[in-house]
């Protein structure tokens, strides 16, 4: 499992985790598409925006390996802002390649990246 050096471990000041420390001994947690409803808590929305910003700062528009990125946090963005970068895509692999769909991310998180998206 690739460890993304320099990637924040969690959203600052919260318990929203962005990475895992070690592989799951019971098997890889698959990435799924989770529905984000309009009535989500503000803290959850901040965690999504913070994770998206961290992904953008680390990888930009280039494909990246899932590695030690948290499957639960990725699942909130998967299928919209974060998409598979390979076909076939294995959602239960630490080696799976993903990428940011920049156009969708700009729409979903307009305030989080005003300066960085230029």
Domain membership flag for residue 98: yes
Tens place of pLDDT per residue across the chain (118 aa): 889 888 999 888 888 999 988 888 888 999 999 998 888 898 899 999 999 999 998 998 899 999 999 999 999 999 999 999 999 999 999 999 999 999 999 899 877 666 554 4
Domain membership flag for residue 47: yes
Domain membership flag for residue 5: no
Q: How many domains does the chain have?
A: 1
Tell me the longest C-alpha to C-alpha distance in the chain: 42
State how far the Cα of 76 lies from the Cα of 73, in Å rounded to an integer. Answer: 6
pTM for the model: 0.87
Judge whether 10 and 16 are in contact, CB under 8 Å.
yes
pLDDT of residue 13: 81
Domain membership flag for residue 17: no
For residue 106, give the H/E element and its range: helix 102-108
State how far the Cα of 79 lies from the Cα of 115, in Å rounded to an integer. Answer: 25
Instruction: Supply the range of the domain harboring residue 97.
Output: 43-108
Assigned token pair, 104: 């969708």
């Amino acid at each position: 499992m690739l460890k993304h050096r320099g990637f924040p471990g969690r959203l600052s000041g919260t318990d929203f985790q962005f990475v895992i420390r070690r592989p799951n001994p019971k098997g890889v947690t698959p990435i799924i598409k989770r529905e984000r409803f309009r009535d989500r808590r503000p803290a959850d929305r901040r965690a999504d925006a913070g994770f998206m910003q961290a992904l953008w700062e680390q990888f930009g528009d280039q494909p990246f390996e899932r590695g030690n990125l948290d499957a639960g946090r990725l699942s909130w963005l998967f299928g919209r802002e974060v998409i598979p970068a390979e076909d076939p895509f294995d959602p239960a692999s630490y080696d799976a390649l993903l990428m940011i769909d920049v156009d969708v991310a700009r729409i979903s998180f307009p305030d989080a990246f005003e300066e960085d998206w230029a």
